[in-house]
A = this chain, B = another copy of it.
Amino acid sequence: MARVKDKNKLHAIHEAALHLVVKTGFTSLKMAEVAREAGIATGTLYIYYPSKEDLVNMLYRNIKSEMVELFDAIVIDENNYKLTFREIWMRYFRFCMENPDKMLFVEQFHYSGIIEDEIIKSTNKAMAKIEDFLAYGQQSGWIVKGGLHLQKAFLHGAIHEWVKSFVAKRVKPGEETVENCFNMTWNGLHVAHL
């Protein structure tokens, strides 16, 4: 029997590729560098991924899956909209703070034209739970009406920008700061009933 394909290698490749691609973009991502950082030979990299495009597509799929899993454990409590919303927001915020590279990667490649349409679509579909929750919030008067994509963009856009600024400053925001950010988002979205 020959050696068996190594799970650890796969993981090392992902780590290396993510780290490197986020630093400099797709074109400057060097397969040789990925291999070196993953501790394998260049040729070995091509056993696992037949091309640079494939590598990046797979990375995208994996990271999106991870993001989806984030919300798996959340129990939607319709009687306590804000609490559930808060839980979602916090999980995503923390995920981005702990994995800024993954956040940047998805942001960078989502509109890049490099990720295959099929992958974009299927990963979007996996986010249905969140989408449904927002739609329910609109119908039941918790959050403002309007195209759902406006709300999603608002959520994403603000969180990503905050995380980017924390990461650039190499700062870990305190609880109060995070609360502040959450409040801006919630106040922006929710409908005040006087």
Known: A25-B26, A164-B111. A177 touches B147 (CB 8 A): yes
Give the Cβ gap from A45 to chain B, nearest Cβ, in Å: 14
What is the 8 Å Cβ interface bit string for chain A, positions 176-194, against chain B (1 contact, 0 not)?
Answer: 0100110111011100101
The main secondary structure of chain A at its interface with chain B is helix
- A144 / chain B contacts, CB cutoff of 8 Å: 180, 183-184
Total interface residues in chain A, CB < 8 Å: 41
Q: In the assembly, what is the distance between CA of A81 and CA of B185, in Å?
A: 21
Closest to A181 in B: B150
Look across to chain B and name the residue whose beta carbon is closest to the beta carbon of A161: B157
Chain B residues within an 8 Å CB radius of A158: 153-154, 157-158, 161, 188
A192 to B28, CA, bound (A): 48
Interface residue? A162 (CB, 8 A): yes
Q: Separation in Å of the A166 CB from the closest CB of chain B?
A: 9
Q: Residue-by-residue, is A124-162 near B (CB-CB < 8 Å gives 1, otherwise 0)?
A: 000000000000000000001011011101101111111
Question: In the complex, which residues of chain B have a beta carbon less than 8 angstroms from the beta carbon of A41?
Answer: 2
**What is A's interface to B at a CB cutoff of 8 Å?**
2, 23-28, 41, 43, 111, 113, 144, 146-147, 149-151, 153-154, 156-162, 164-165, 168-169, 177, 180-181, 183-185, 187-189, 192, 194
